Structure 1
């Protein structure tokens, strides 16, 4: 690999660093806004933790999809699901942002990143469908675990991503437990262990 390729890839990584301070609507258990990078990290961890329930899937592909799925947010940030009204426009913007972000990369790597994002966006493969489901589940897990503002809309969780999370028994089982946690948070608004189970 030549110096020019290495420099271009480092430039891309510098630009992607903004995901560390791109904030999402959920909060951590310490009460600060969660970053997209933190969400992506735990999504990857979730895939590893439940790998034994993902038989038949290409786990390298799963992890690549996890890493790339929100990469475009490095440019224009995250739009909370509750505020999304035009999915087609959001998708087009994210595709443009991903093209901008990956512009320094060599064509082969740039094409791979775009293809992974498109596969995820279209839920075009079993791996992409699994990552879509886990993306929703990780988000709900964080909403239930976080020290969120008093007006946080926990009820939104109960319908969020149902078509993805009900498509496979493992995800449906995880979803049931998380929905129970959501209902507990809705009743109490508390964030401690009395409000939910974290096991």
Structure 2
């Protein structure tokens, strides 16, 4: 670290700004207690924070396959995309319906969560949230595609559910995952494993019926 870098790091932050940043971080911690419909491989309910962490981790793992993508931007989108759920919780995909006001509600919740932040930081984060929700940029569309893939991969690790539950995964998020050659290729691997799980469950049901 150069002398200039050391001096920059050592600069004292404005106390009110620092207080707002810390208050926001403490409020965002609620995402650790926001539970999703899926579970870990041991059957414990998964939190939205855990989902967001592994989604961001997926981007690091596939970084070399992503080419000329703005990786820092993509990571930011992955980390904040579900942050509004810290207030009102997660709605499982099968229960989501068109026109259910879910996106507007999550945006309002996200704004509420950002209330302690300095105005410039709040605006930066809200812009990222809007970019993800709008799905118009390359990074936002990739974030949505990987979001679906992470969810399906987690469903394959958790204790098997019903045939109906796993069959839903075969159509879940396809409009997003089909948007790029890489995510289509990953999806093919994921779907193949999902079909194996379904076949196993159907065989088990058949044996029980005999």
Whether TM exceeds 0.5 here: the answer is yes
Local SS of the residue matching 1:24? strand
Return 5+ residue gaps in structure 1 as ranges: 191-199
Could you tell me which residue of structure 1 aligns to residue 94 of structure 2?
Answer: 82
d(CA) in 1 for partners of 2:158, 2:29: 23
d(CA) in 1 for partners of 2:99, 2:34: 20
Question: Which of residues 158, 169, 172 is equivalent to 2:181?
Answer: 169
Kindly state the Cα deviation for residue 188 of structure 1 after the two structures are TM-superposed. 1.6
Structure 1's consecutive aligned runs of 4 or more residues displaced over 2 angstroms after TM superposition are 148-152
Local SS of the residue matching 1:46? helix
d(CA) in 2 for partners of 1:30, 1:83: 24
Kindly state the Cα deviation for residue 189 of structure 1 after the two structures are TM-superposed. 3.5
Return 5+ residue gaps in structure 2 as ranges: 1-12, 203-210
Kindly state the Cα deviation for residue 21 of structure 1 after the two structures are TM-superposed. 1.2
| 1:115 correspondence with 2:115 | no
d(CA) in 1 for partners of 2:14, 2:163: 53
d(CA) in 2 for partners of 1:185, 1:78: 25
d(CA) in 2 for partners of 1:32, 1:85: 27
Could you tell me which residue of structure 2 aligns to residue 193 of structure 1?
Answer: none
| 1:183 correspondence with 2:195 | yes
| 1:91 correspondence with 2:96 | no
Local SS of the residue matching 2:179? coil
| 1:155 correspondence with 2:155 | no
Q: Which deviations, in whole Å up to 9, do the C-alpha atoms of 1:87-106 show, x marking residues without a partner?
A: 56101000100010000001
d(CA) in 2 for partners of 1:87, 1:177: 32
Aligned residues: 190
Question: Which of residues 14, 17, 20 is equivalent to 2:26?
Answer: 14
Q: Does the 8 A contact of 2:160 with 2:197 survive in 1?
A: no
Q: Does the 8 A contact of 1:27 with 1:148 survive in 2?
A: no
Could you tell me which residue of structure 1 aligns to residue 68 of structure 2?
Answer: 56
Q: Does the 8 A contact of 1:31 with 1:148 survive in 2?
A: no
Richer in helix (by share):
2
Kindly state the Cα deviation for residue 148 of structure 1 after the two structures are TM-superposed. 4.7
Q: Which deviations, in whole Å up to 9, do the C-alpha atoms of 1:64-120 show, x marking residues without a partner?
A: 001110010000011111110135610100010001000000111101111101100
Kindly state the Cα deviation for residue 152 of structure 1 after the two structures are TM-superposed. 6.5
Which structure has the greater CA radius of gyration?
2
Q: Which deviations, in whole Å up to 9, do the C-alpha atoms of 1:154-187 show, x marking residues without a partner?
A: 1110111111111111100100000011111112
Local SS of the residue matching 1:153? helix
Normalised by the length of structure 1, the TM-score is 0.91
